[in-house]
Amino acid sequence: MSKYIKIIIVITTITAAMMELIDTSIVNVALNNISGTLGATLEDASWVVTAYAIANVIIIPLTGFLSRYFGRKNYYLASIVIFTLSSYMCGSSTSLWMLVLWRFVQGIGGGALLSVSQGILFDQFKPEEKGIAGGIFGMGIVIGPTIGPILGGYIVDNYHWALIFDINIPIGIAAALLTWKFIDKKPDEYNINKKAIPIDYIGILSLTIGVGALQYILEKGQSDDWFQAQSIRYLTLAAILGLGFFIWWELHTKTPAINLRVMKNRNLIGSNVLTFVCGFGLFGSVYLFPVMVQRVMGYTPTEAGLSMVPGALVSIFAMPFIGAGLGKGIKPIYFVIAGFILFILHGYTSSLATPESGRWWFSLPQIFRGVGTGCLTVPLLSQAVVGLKPQDMPYGISLNNMFRQLGGAFGIAIMNTYATNRFATHRSDLVSNLQNNNPLLTERLNGITQGMVAKGVNPIAAKQGAYGVLDHALSNQAQMQAYLDGFLLIAVFFVCTIPFMLLLKNESMDAETRAKVAAAAH
């Protein structure tokens, strides 16, 4: 294979993976525009995000089975086509529920673009170069969720929201053509005997019900007032029964869709818990930061996205070095420890922000997040399979990817709920400290009232307006404190899960084992 074809394959797989990751977050900043254009409430418009997330989380743990059943290249190419076609249909949607339907289909197509891209990319590198390949791929994992809000904000500020979907079309067509032309099938992808590959229908169905219900609860729980809503109570029961039966079935059937027996490995348990926390921190902080700076500090969507650029830039430079270090045999656990320290620093320093903090003030916390995520993403995947048998590695990697996505879903849901509750607490505390006989309060109210009167406002209306201005200032301050508490909670989560590092095996992998890990990473 010529180096030019190798470069083409690398670009194709990285682009496809980033395209999927960008679409997990790009829609968030466009929900106001979508709801206004399609005549829907903001609450209903949030289904655009929920539908994609549900489909994505369901399909990710099944990508290994689907690759074996249809052949990796065929499944990958079909997924790109489904993703591209559904992107066109999303941009062409004339109603909210039409958009929600096609976002679900888009999530099904996107589920393969991340993990299968990883396996195809690693196949292009020699065993001793697998660490570098991991670093290259890790850049896409880290940068994708960061670019989403930046790109989405720019499009929303300057163009129609449909463009956030339409930009996938030329990229998807190019990726499909390049995949068809340059990516070869592996020997076991020819003449696949599908009859010899049993389909675990019961396992797939119970996983779909359990994970789908859980994802819905996480996405919609806050807006539906959690267990006050009958739908949330029913779906909680469905999630418990679905996932409970899925675990029981997979442990007892002879041909499981996902071999959960690998979870007996202590190292894999610890790695999955840490990966869950990594997803929690990455997606939780990426959700929390743009919301805070837009609602409290008056940033535009574009400005909010640009404020996250420092973290993305340091990731670009850090990931190849991290990958090279893994390739030279540095133990993954060392990177994991560094990543946890950096994420704790990210959460703590972010919680020190004030309403007067400028864009450059946030650069250091964003750098902590960028390097910290780089130290966790690929090293945790490598750490997860330490001690697993070669035939168990695909299942270990599949579970690890699923835990990262679930961690992200929990992160967004918990950040949303926690910030709402903390806002109510902080506002109540601030209001209780206001005393009518406080001279500073009286002076400020009189100053605001006189300013309004000077502009021609009726004195009675000016007095009411002054209280309204004060109420807005209190709410703004309470909102800021609530978001800062959210960042501190991220740091606390990382601190509390440090003991799980004791479950990790402190072993190095030789080049041959790393090659098997890379080949299985799909």
C-alpha–C-alpha distance, residues 339 and 278, integer Å: 9
C-alpha–C-alpha distance, residues 296 and 480, integer Å: 6
Q: At 185, is the secondary structure helix, strand, or coil?
A: coil
| Sequence-ordered strand ranges (E) for 305-436 | none
Provide the pLDDT for residue 521: 42
CB burial of 393-410 (b: ≥16 within 10 Å; e: otherwise) equals bbbbbbbbbbbbbbbbbb
C-alpha–C-alpha distance, residues 255 and 112, integer Å: 22
C-alpha–C-alpha distance, residues 281 and 295, integer Å: 21
Sign of CA dihedral 206, 113, 53, 401: positive
Q: Using an 8 Å Cβ cutoff, are 120 and 76 in contact?
A: yes
End-to-end CA distance of the chain: 22
Provide the pLDDT for residue 520: 44
What is the DSSP secondary-structure string of 27-90? TGGGHHHHHHHHT--HHHHTHHHHHHHHHHHHHGGGHHHHHHHH-HHHHHHHHHHHHHHHHHHH
From residue 323, give the alpha-carbon distance in Å to each of 144, 290, 351, 376, 511: 18, 29, 31, 11, 13
C-alpha–C-alpha distance, residues 224 and 61, integer Å: 28
C-alpha–C-alpha distance, residues 354 and 368, integer Å: 19
CA proximity to 226, closest of 406, 42, 417, 46: 417
From residue 490, give the alpha-carbon distance in Å to each of 220, 223, 283, 343, 485: 21, 22, 11, 8, 9
Provide the pLDDT for residue 130: 61
Q: Using an 8 Å Cβ cutoff, are 109 and 79 in contact?
A: yes
* Sequence letter at residue 270: G
C-alpha–C-alpha distance, residues 247 and 259, integer Å: 10
C-alpha–C-alpha distance, residues 396 and 522, integer Å: 11
User: To the nearest 5 percent, what fractions of the chain are helix, strand and coil?
Assistant: 80, 0, 20
Enter the pTM of the model.
0.77
Provide the pLDDT for residue 519: 44
Q: Phi-psi bin for 491: left (phi > 0), alpha (psi -120 to 50), beta?
A: alpha
Q: Please identify which residue in the block is written with the tokens 């030789």.
A: 510
Question: What average pLDDT values come out for the chain (522 residues) when binned by 10 residues?
Answer: 72 79 74 80 73 80 82 90 94 90 91 76 67 66 69 81 89 89 81 81 88 79 76 91 92 82 84 90 83 82 78 79 78 90 94 84 89 84 76 74 80 81 84 67 69 72 71 81 93 92 72 49 40
C-alpha–C-alpha distance, residues 211 and 59, integer Å: 10
Provide the pLDDT for residue 485: 94
